[in-house]
Structure formats: structure tokens, C-alpha cells
Amino acid sequence: MWNDTRSILLESCVDSVESAVAAEKGGAGRVELCANLTEGGTTPSAGMIALVRQSIRIGLQVMIRPRGGDFCYSDLEFEVMKYDIARARELEADGIVLGILTVDGQVDRERTSELVRLSRPLNVTFHRAFDMVPDPFQALEDLVSLGVDRLLTSGQENSALEGLELITRLVEKAAGRIMVMPGGGISSRNIGRICRNAAFREVHAGGALLLESPMRYRCNHISMGRTFRPPEYAHYRVSAAEVKRLLDGAVRNE
């Protein structure tokens, strides 16, 4: 279980019940539950939310994203997001993860405000849609004014390590008004460097390893998904040992 002496809470990104259980076993303080992680994460099914909730005692954040791709949504997609927030609340999630932008790449203040209102009393994280905005400091102020609780960001780079300078500046600018949580490409090998020079209280990482399928019969000439996904006979699953290594690395700040 989570050790209260640790100074950093680890949020583990998961896409299965097994991964959520492993994350808790490894010491994660919270999970972010998604589907379709190869597309950056979309809304998980109601069944997945319910079974994860039954299986873990730590915090459960639910991704609300109707599709992959950009973060500018149609009216119908927006209605789907509102419906999915209501279902996540009913299924006893602890928090909602969302992000919605205008055609100009700004935080969509009107729609975000409505989604935040519908999410309450759950906490709200604005996800890495933030990394696509033209002015991160204006976007930060927008999120503060909208009452968003937490910002997940890679510092507008492909990884949090590359974007560490901006993330650090965002923490300073936020001044405690919103939690700024680094995420993106964080591993047990680099988490110490990321946590060493900034006042991060929470970190978002996966802790997943690629597992081989137990299937003996394999039909290798057919692909069921896009080319950027893992092969059909392997999948990623969070490892409790890897989550523990992440936490150990964060605490040591090596």
C-alpha cells in the first residue's frame, strides 16, 4: 500500500483491471483508467470502470475522451463526454480526466466549465490537450479560473524530461492554485532526474511491460489494429515491481 512517508504520489496510467491491481500492489496512490492507450487514451467502458472500482481501494481517475486525434470536438462528441462523466460518477470514480480545445487551440472555456460542473463533486484533471495550446501560461490561467484541480503536462514536448523546464515554470506560475503533474515518457530510469529539481507532489507514469500472449496457435499474417500498436500476440500490462521501481527512483531523486 501507499507509504505516507513518501513525498510524491504516483498516478499510474492503466487500461485493464489487472494493471490497476498491479499498480496498487506496487504502491501507486491513484490510477488513471483509459482505453486505447496507443491513441493517447480514450474513455473506458462502463464494465471496465465498475470492475476496477471493485478491485482497488486507491484513487480512480477516469479518462473522458470520445476518440483519438485532436481535442476539438463536435456537438455530438461533446454530448458523449457529458454522458460518460455521468456514468463515471455513478460507478464511483474519484476523478475525471478531460481536455477540450477550440479551433484556435485555446482552452475551450465554455465547454470546459460545463464539464467541470457536471463532474462535481469529483476532482478534475485537464490532460495533455494542454500540450497543444499556443500559450501555456494563458492556458494555465484559464484552467485556474475554471476551477480545474490538476494539470497533466509533458511541458509541450514529447516527454516530461524534455519539457522539464516549462513544467517547472508552470509549477512556479501556478503557485499552489492548481496541481501541476508531469507526465509523458516517465520511467524508472529518468523519474529521479525529473523530480530532483522541481517541487512536484504528484507524477504520472505507466509502469507497464510488454507481455507475450500464452496462445500456442498464432495467425501471424493478419493484424487487427493499426501498425503503431503492439503485435497481436503481445500486450502491455502494468508491473507492480516496475511501479515500485518508479517510486523508489522518485524518492531517491537520482
For 30, residues 6+ apart whose C-beta sits below 8 A from its C-beta are 9, 10, 11, 12, 58, 59, 60, 61, 94, 95
Is residue 2, in this structure, part of any structural domain at all? no
Number of domains, the chain: 1
Residue 238 has pLDDT above 60, yes or no: yes
Alpha-carbon span 73 to 131, nearest angstrom: 17
Residues β-bridged to residue 187: none
What's phi and psi for 202, nearest 5 deg? -135, 145
DSSP 132: G
Is residue 1, in this structure, part of any structural domain at all? no
Is residue 3, in this structure, part of any structural domain at all? no
Task: Establish whether the linkage from the previous residue to 231 is cis, with ω within 30° of 0.
Answer: no
Which pLDDT value is given to residue 252? 62
Task: Compute and round to an integer the Cα radius of gyration of the chain.
Answer: 18
What's phi and psi for 231, nearest 5 deg? -60, 160
CA-CA-CA-CA torsion sign (58, 59, 60, 65)? negative
Which pLDDT value is given to residue 4? 38
Alpha-carbon span 219 to 179, nearest angstrom: 47
**72-to-1, 92, 158, 236 alpha-carbon distances in Å:** 39, 28, 20, 29
Q: What is the pTM of this model?
A: 0.89
Range with lowest mean pLDDT among 12-26, 39-53, 169-183, 195-209: 195-209
In three-state secondary structure terms, 249 is: helix
The pLDDT tens digits for 111-162 are 999 999 999 999 999 999 999 999 999 999 999 999 999 999 999 999 999 9
Is residue 4, in this structure, part of any structural domain at all? no
Residue 162: give the domain boundaries: 9-252
Nearest CA among 161, 155, 245 for reference residue 197:
161
Is residue 14, in this structure, part of any structural domain at all? yes
Residue 1 has pLDDT above 70, yes or no: no
DSSP 121: T
- The mean per-residue pLDDT over the stretch 32-44 comes to 94
Which pLDDT value is given to residue 128? 97
Alpha-carbon span 14 to 6, nearest angstrom: 22
In three-state secondary structure terms, 107 is: strand
Instruction: Say if CB 46 and CB 25 are below 8 A apart.
Output: no
Is residue 73, in this structure, part of any structural domain at all? yes
Distance of CA 103 to the CA centre of its chain: 23
- The mean per-residue pLDDT over the stretch 230-247 comes to 83
The pLDDT tens digits for 197-215 are 677 899 999 887 777 777 7
Is residue 131, in this structure, part of any structural domain at all? yes
DSSP 38: G
Instruction: Say if CB 108 and CB 141 are below 8 A apart.
Output: no
Residue 220 has pLDDT above 80, yes or no: no
Instruction: Say if CB 150 and CB 135 are below 8 A apart.
Output: no
End-to-end distance of the chain based on CA atoms, in angstroms?
Answer: 23
Is residue 216, in this structure, part of any structural domain at all? yes
Instruction: Say if CB 6 and CB 248 are below 8 A apart.
Output: no
CATH number reported for the structural domain that contains residue 99 in this entry? 3.20.20.380
Residue 253 has pLDDT above 70, yes or no: no
